[in-house]
Structure 1
Amino acid sequence: MTQQNSVQKHHGAEIELLSFRLGEDEYCVGIMSVREIRGWTRPTPLPHAPPHLRGVINLRGTVLPVVDLSLRLGMDPVGGDARNVIIVVQINGHAVGLLVHAVSDILALESDDLQPPPETAGSDGARFISALAIVDERMVRILNLEAVLPDLTVEAA
């Protein structure tokens, strides 16, 4: 777990997370990496971009790449309608938009409540999850943004 993700395991420390939905599943990112939450804006597609890169939008004069997080994680794509949102995160000094179905909540958890994901041989997707937590009888996955978006600025160029 990294400083960038703002999900650090310091014994007894409180961690704030933004939770959101992708389909029926709930995921989280460290609140310190979130810059803003925007309503749906149709991105301008880029030629030869990877399938999960939906395109770019104008964010107050800055070109912002928008990643369909559902596609990036190997699930069905987010439809892209008025109910969907773009979570703008800061990763390695770059802003990136994450297209998700809906934002759920802000969670405050103790670092002791976080559990490492199980070791799964050959599971490429397991590296995308930095930790798991049980919140009100539901399992939430905490994303490792550096693994999910390793070279996005190179892909968008």
Structure 2
Amino acid sequence: MAPTSVEAQFVTFSLDAEIFAVPVGVVREILDYEDPSRIPHGPPHLLGLRDVRGQGVPIIDLRVRLGMDKTVRTAHTRILVLDIPIADKMLALGLVADKVFEVTPFRHDAIETAPDIGAAWNCDYIRGVVRRPSDFVIIIDLARLFSDSAPAITAAAAPQRAVA
């Protein structure tokens, strides 16, 4: 008898018609949407700050960060409060999701790499893709997406060049 594959738990959510997932271990809590306090001159994806149990947490419009249209608030809009380990620090962020679905297990051997489409495409933020009977789930590499060295994802962000 072959050993069973190890599974990992993920929280699934939608942005527009796309389904995304993040590891359940980084999700601190899921909150109803409330408008954050604005931060002047922040990047377009930074909506502002929200108080989460006494801590000011930056709220990110993940749709904008991924180059999609701005989130339109509905009754299903939620904020996933995450603690993302990046290098030697813990980054607390709130990600706006159109809808949060469930915690679901994915077998490690069912997680495929991002597809190669034969063209220039920035898929650095994709940790993997899981095929389901009716759709695909994109697993986000949060540390890569939000690290200081993260490549520009939105069209509005200009590439930075090193100066010699």
TM-score range, shorter chain: 0.7 to 0.9
TM-score by length of 1: 0.84
Range 89-98 or range 75-84, more displaced: 75-84
Which of 12, 23, 27 aligns to 1:30? It is 23
Question: Structure 1, unaligned stretches of length 5 or more?
Answer: 1-10, 152-157
Which of 94, 98, 101 aligns to 1:97? It is 94
Instruction: Give the structure 2 partner of residue 131 of structure 1.
Output: 128
C-alpha distance in 1 between matches for 2:63 and 2:146: 13
Instruction: Give the structure 2 partner of residue 155 of structure 1.
Output: none
Of all paired residues, the percent bearing the same amino acid is 30
Q: Equivalences for 1:67-78 in 2 at 5 Å?
A: 67-78=60-71
- Measure how far apart 1:79 and its partner are: 1.6
C-alpha distance in 2 between matches for 1:135 and 1:31: 19
**Would you say the 8 A contact 1:129–1:144 is kept in 2?**
yes
Instruction: Give the structure 2 partner of residue 8 of structure 1.
Output: none
Instruction: Give the structure 2 partner of residue 149 of structure 1.
Output: 146
C-alpha distance in 1 between matches for 2:76 and 2:105: 25
C-alpha distance in 1 between matches for 2:133 and 2:80: 24
C-alpha distance in 1 between matches for 2:24 and 2:95: 14
C-alpha distance in 2 between matches for 1:139 and 1:82: 24
Instruction: Give the structure 2 partner of residue 60 of structure 1.
Output: 53
C-alpha distance in 1 between matches for 2:131 and 2:55: 37
Q: Relative contact order, CA 8 A, sep 6+: which one is greater?
A: 1
**Would you say the 8 A contact 1:44–1:57 is kept in 2?**
yes
TM-score by length of 2: 0.80
C-alpha distance in 2 between matches for 1:29 and 1:136: 20
**Would you say the 8 A contact 1:36–1:89 is kept in 2?**
yes
C-alpha distance in 2 between matches for 1:85 and 1:137: 24
C-alpha distance in 2 between matches for 1:83 and 1:30: 21
C-alpha distance in 2 between matches for 1:82 and 1:33: 24
C-alpha distance in 1 between matches for 2:65 and 2:19: 15
**Would you say the 8 A contact 1:42–1:80 is kept in 2?**
no
Question: Structure 2, unaligned stretches of length 5 or more?
Answer: 149-164
Q: What's the RMSD between the two structures over aligned residues?
A: 1.7
